[in-house]
């Protein structure tokens, strides 16, 4: 059973078809990239997966549950939105406590659920810092840490490194990939940044609402006889 499966998904805004026959699969315990330029349809897919939009046509399964059964489908996922979602006037600890309480956890249970990750993600000395005083990279780390409170089987991250400096971007990416290796968490990493995708990653490339390639990066590079994904993208779109 896959962690995430989209099968023949179509979506229209009014009369404009923005997703066309979108199909891809994220295997359990794997890191999978949805890659495309701005306006390609990535955000629409993310909104469907998180139930911000209702599915119109096709099928979506999260951890084996149809998304129409949303309470079960969304029970074991963690979400990091592109737009910031922290309360900037609360401390890191208070933001975590608040989210934990929404999940029915006590303050003690909330911190216990993520105690192994707090230091790994470099927040152990920032728990009592007001989030407004954090830089962008550490705010994003708080959102990632928060998404792990419910011990998800699947993480959905939409442009999680947008607006960050290169060092922060790759530290966060490395941390997410380590979660896959050490915790067996499945990850859908949505990005428009080609340099965040490595040769051994699985990737679905989307353009104008269509999946135009869906394979290992190394296989795509071989197919288009090139040494970089951005060159392969240009060859595909030409």
Look at residue 70 in the predicted model and tell me its pLDDT: 85
pLDDT of residue 171: 96
> For 97-116, what is the mean pLDDT?
94
pLDDT tens sequence across 19-63: 999 999 999 999 999 999 999 999 999 999 999 999 999 999 999
pTM assigned to the model: 0.95
Query: Residue 212: phi, psi to the nearest 5?
Result: -100, -15
- Under the banding of pLDDT at 50, 70 and 90, the label for residue 81 is very high
Closest CA to 230 of 203, 30, 26, 209: 203
What token pair was written down for 103? Answer: 């999940």
CA dihedral 34, 35, 40, 45 (to 10 degrees): 10
**pLDDT at residue number 1:** 77
Measured CA to CA, the distance from residue 220 to residue 233 in angstroms comes to 9
Please state the rounded mean pLDDT for residues 133-158.
96
Six token digits for residue 236: 């595909």
Q: What is the pLDDT of residues 157-199, one digit of tens each?
A: 999 999 999 999 999 999 999 999 999 999 999 999 999 999 9
User: What structural domains and CATH numbers belong to the chain?
Assistant: 1-76+152-238 (3.40.50.300), 83-151 (no CATH)
Q: How confident is the model at residue 110 (pLDDT cuts 50, 70, 90)?
A: very high
């Amino acid at each position: 059973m896959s962690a995430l499966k989209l099968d023949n998904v179509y979506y229209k805004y009014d009369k404009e078809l923005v997703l066309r026959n979108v199909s891809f699969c994220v295997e359990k315990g794997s890191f999978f990239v949805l890659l495309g330029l701005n306006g390609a349809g990535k955000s629409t897919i993310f909104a469907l997966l998180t139930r911000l939009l209702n599915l119109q046509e096709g099928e979506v399964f999260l951890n084996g549950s149809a998304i129409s059964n949303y309470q079960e489908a969304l029970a074991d996922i963690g979400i990091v939105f592109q737009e910031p979602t922290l309360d900037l006037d609360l401390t890191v600890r208070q933001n975590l406590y608040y989210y934990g309480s929404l999940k029915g956890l006590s303050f003690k249970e909330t911190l216990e659920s993520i105690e192994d990750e707090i230091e790994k993600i470099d927040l152990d000395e920032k728990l009592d810092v007001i989030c407004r005083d954090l830089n962008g990279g550490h705010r994003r780390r708080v959102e990632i840490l928060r998404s792990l409170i419910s011990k998800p089987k699947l993480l959905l991250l939409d442009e999680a490194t947008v607006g960050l400096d290169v060092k922060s971007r790759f530290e966060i990416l490395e941390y997410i990939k380590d979660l896959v290796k050490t915790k067996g968490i499945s990850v859908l990493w949505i990005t428009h940044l080609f340099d965040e995708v490595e040769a051994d990653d699985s990737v679905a490339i989307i353009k104008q609402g269509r999946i135009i390639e869906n394979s290992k990066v190394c296989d795509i590079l071989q197919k288009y006889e090139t040494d970089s994904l951005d060159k392969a993208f240009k060859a595909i779109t030409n």
